[in-house]
Amino acid sequence: MAQAKVTRVVIVGGGISGLTCAFKLSQTEQFARGLLHICVLENRSRFGGIIETKVVDDCIIDSGPDSFITNKPQMLTLARELNIESRIIAVNKENRGALIVSNGALVPLPPGFVMLAPSKLSSFFQSSVLSLRGKLRTALDLVIPPRKELTDESLAAFVRRRFGQEHLDKLAQPMVAGIYVGDAEKLSAAHAAARFVAMERTAGSVIKGLRVERKELAARDLKDESSGARYGLFASFDRGMAVVVDSLLAALSQPNIELCLDTTVQAIAYRPGQSERFSVSSSSSQSWQCDHLVLATAAKVSAGLLKDVDANLSVQLSKINSASSAVCNFIFERKDIAHRLNAFGVVVPELEMLAHNLSVLAVSFASVKFARAPQDKVIVRAFMGGIKRDSLLEKDDQQLIDLALADLAKLIGLSGRPLYQAVHRWIDSMPQYNVGHQSLIADIENTSSVVGLHLGGAYLHGVGLPDCVASGYKCAESVSRLLAQEV
**Nearest alpha-carbon partner for 379 in 366, 391, 369:** 366
At residue 363, the 3 state secondary structure works out as strand
The sign of the torsion formed by the CA atoms of 153, 159, 160, 166 equals negative
Please give the average per-residue pLDDT across 179-185, as a whole number.
93
CATH topology of domain 7-48+243-320+433-486: FAD/NAD(P)-binding domain (3.50.50)
Burial (CB count within 10 angstroms: exposed 0-12, middle 13-18, buried 19+), residue 225:
middle
Instruction: Kindly report, residue by residue over 117-164, the tens digit of the pLDDT.
Output: 999 999 999 999 999 999 999 999 999 999 999 899 999 999 999 999
Answer yes or no: is pLDDT of 404 > 60.
yes
pLDDT of residue 285: 87
pLDDT of residue 1: 44
Answer yes or no: is pLDDT of 221 > 90.
no
Domain boundary assignment for the chain = 7-48+243-320+433-486, 67-94+322-431, 111-144+152-224
Indicate the pTM of the whole model.
0.94
Residues of the chain above pLDDT 70, percent: 96
Instruction: Kindly report, residue by residue over 1-21, the tens digit of the pLDDT.
Output: 456 789 999 999 999 999 999
* Planar angle of CA 378, 428, 344, nearest 5 degrees: 25
Instruction: Kindly report, residue by residue over 310-325, the tens digit of the pLDDT.
Output: 999 999 999 999 999 9
Question: What is the DSSP secondary structure assignment for residue 361, as one 8-state letter?
Answer: S
The sign of the torsion formed by the CA atoms of 24, 27, 30, 36 equals positive
CATH topology of domain 111-144+152-224: protoporphyrinogen ix oxidase, domain 3 (1.10.3110)
* Planar angle of CA 54, 60, 63, nearest 5 degrees: 50
Burial (CB count within 10 angstroms: exposed 0-12, middle 13-18, buried 19+), residue 128:
exposed
Answer yes or no: is pLDDT of 395 > 60.
yes
What is the band of 220 on the pLDDT scale with cuts at 50, 70, 90? low
CATH number of the domain located at residue range(s) 67-94+322-431 in this protein: 3.90.660.20
pLDDT, the chain, mean: 94
Please give the average per-residue pLDDT across 186-215, as a whole number.
94
